[in-house]
Structure 1
Amino acid sequence: MTNTRGVDMVADVRCSVGESPLWCTEQAAWYWVDIPARTIWRLDAASGRLDTWQTTEMVASIALKQSGGLIAGMESGIFSLELGIGPMAAQRKLAAPAGGLGPGMRFNDGRCDRQGRFWSGTMCADIAANRPLGNLHRYTAQDGVSAPVVSGLLVQNGLAWSPDGRTMYLSDSHPQRQLVWAFDYDVDEGMPSRQRLFVDMNSFAGRPDGAAVDSDGCYWICGNDGGCILRFTPDGRLDRRIDVPMLKPSMCSFGGAGLDTLLVTSISAGKAEGDDWAGAVVLLRPGVTGVAETLFHG
């Protein structure tokens, strides 16, 4: 691994759009995806071994299933993925929004709530089109894909839950928005309410991309185009900034044996001059612990 500024680069990995990192405690391994490359990556933490699997559609967000394998938000819907010894992931489409996603749309950022329901949002792949057609959906095996729970999104991102699961966070990372919202979250019904502004990222470095929550209930958001990760307290106050050696960090996730390591993916697409770490996947120790991701229960 290459180290700079207290940050370790994972091998010589360069992702076009690295996203959705997560830690698997049972395997002691990290997972993440490269969206346009249609690739799932796995890093064994002990040996450093890297494995990859291809998918037939772009895969944007993944979560671990209680029954094994992954659940994923992809181009046309929600899929179950099994990762075997071959180069291709075994795919099974589980559901899609009523009427489909529409031309040029795909799923984006996603993860499970604290009760094991899978959430993911849709977006228009052509960001420059400025089309607020994105919706946030909930998926369960019993009910399938929900009707839109939040609508009018340009680039859905930043999905996370407080440690007790009673606050949900969501961002829109489009340059015309750059906002993070908080919601009250009904843990029994799996429904957010009372949407309010949590952070206006137009006042801070970078656009709000993927996020994670630590054991103190603080919200860590990647400042895409800002080369940093920002930590906000539950009342929306910035209390920490970690600079990273790539301009476009895209998502972060806590893991490692003590949940004290942060894995950060990044983007090389549209690489800026001098951004030598563009697309890198890095590990760092932020000095706090995270909250384990909940497995999908369906």
Structure 2
Amino acid sequence: MSSANRVERLDSGGRATVGECPVWRAEEGALYWVDIPARRIVRLEIANARRTEWTFAEQVACFAFDAAGHVVAGMESGMFGVNLQSLGDAHAIKLAAPEFPAPGMRFNDGRCDRQGRFWAGTMVQDMSLASPAGALYRFDETGRLSAPVVDGLITQNGLAWSPDGRTMYLSDSHPQRRLVWAFDFDPDTGTPSARRVFADLHHYTGRPDGAAVDADGCYWTCANDAGRLLRFTPQGKLDREIALPASKPSMCAFGGSDLSTLFVTTIRPASNATEDDGYVFALNPGVQGLPEPHYAGMLPVA
């Protein structure tokens, strides 16, 4: 894309109900994402607009690739290993599962840290309950799922790491929270500490949903319900705001040949949806992103 901040709708990617977790695969020149209630992973090859999709037995909310192109995914009942080489209905092998403290839970937002450990959080799907039963988990390179690393979350979101991997970001997008936290992060042990408020969106607009960090170390968050992307400096200062055609942006990721395109998934609301809600968008914000780390372990797949 040549024009900074010009927002393009990727019609060939189709329309999702809850689009989430965009992941750029440089090896394929393709963008992947999920449609959670459709139980689907979608791939769009950008050069030829060819779309491929895989459907699962349960909802898939977040995922990452390993070096071999296999997938670790956070779904409804746990962590799964998936092989996307075959088309159509996808088979998944359960690798680990937490003890969910409440009914009606699933995994939500997730990605790998700079060392290749996969992190994902859980939530009670009925957000009207405002249940703080959610927690953040670490799935390490040996295939072990941790105990809750951060608990008391309502709607976990916004995972990202600074370029040097020593700061971890996490948000809670529930209307009662609307907070982004920063943590000191030990890259050797995968341990976050010194939790503090990084951005309080009660002072801005929308709810902090999925996020990405650019090469300058700035944190981009999707301001859900406000149709905005917000960029915060490493010091927590808002320095950029970009309007989007869809009201509920859900997560963003850098991609393209030089990682200068920002892809944004969106959610289609149950009522009063516009013609743009639910599509994936692309823009050039004038900064580059960082390569998405691969999961460092070996995944058993079907």
Question: Shorter-chain TM-score: what band?
Answer: over 0.9
Secondary structure at the aligned position of 1:37 is classed as coil
Percent identity between matched residues is 55
Q: Is the 8 A contact 1:250 1:266 kept in 2?
A: yes
Cα distance in 1 for residues equivalent to 2:141 and 2:234: 32
Cα distance in 2 for residues equivalent to 1:167 and 1:205: 24
Cα distance in 1 for residues equivalent to 2:136 and 2:193: 13
Equivalent residue number for residue 16 of structure 2: 15
What is the 5 A alignment of 1:19-58?
19-58=20-59
**Size of the alignment, in residue pairs?**
294
Cα distance in 2 for residues equivalent to 1:143 and 1:91: 15
What is the 5 A alignment of 1:231-246?
231-246=231-246
Q: Which moved more, 1:152-161 or 1:61-70?
A: 61-70
Q: Report deviation, 1:100.
A: 4.6
Q: Is the 8 A contact 2:101 2:133 kept in 1?
A: no
Please, what is the CA RMSD of the aligned residues?
Answer: 1.5
Equivalent residue number for residue 222 of structure 1: 222
What is the TM-score with the length of structure 2 in the denominator? 0.94
Query: Which stretches in structure 2 are left out of the alignment for 5+ residues?
Result: 298-302
Change beyond 3 A, Cα 1:243–1:54: same
Cα distance in 1 for residues equivalent to 2:281 and 2:145: 33
Q: Is the 8 A contact 1:76 1:101 kept in 2?
A: no
Amino acid at match of 1:77: G
Cα distance in 2 for residues equivalent to 1:194 and 1:257: 36
Change beyond 3 A, Cα 1:143–1:33: closer
1:159-211 CA distance string (max 9 Å, x none): 00001100000000000000000000000000100000000011111100000
Amino acid at match of 1:86: L
Q: Report deviation, 1:117.
A: 0.1
What is the 5 A alignment of 1:55-70?
55-70=56-71
Report whether the alignment pairs 1:122 with 2:137.
no
1:244-265 CA distance string (max 9 Å, x none): 0000000000011100001100
Amino acid at match of 1:241: E
Q: Report deviation, 1:143.
A: 5.2
Q: Is the 8 A contact 1:264 1:283 kept in 2?
A: yes
Cα distance in 1 for residues equivalent to 2:60 and 2:130: 22
Q: Report deviation, 1:141.
A: 4.2
Amino acid at match of 1:277: D
1:80-107 CA distance string (max 9 Å, x none): 111133311221111011x356421100
Q: Is the 8 A contact 2:81 2:93 kept in 1?
A: yes
After superposing on structure 2, the runs of 4+ consecutive aligned residues of structure 1 that deviate more than 6 Å are none
Equivalent residue number for residue 261 of structure 1: 261
Cα distance in 1 for residues equivalent to 2:42 and 2:258: 22
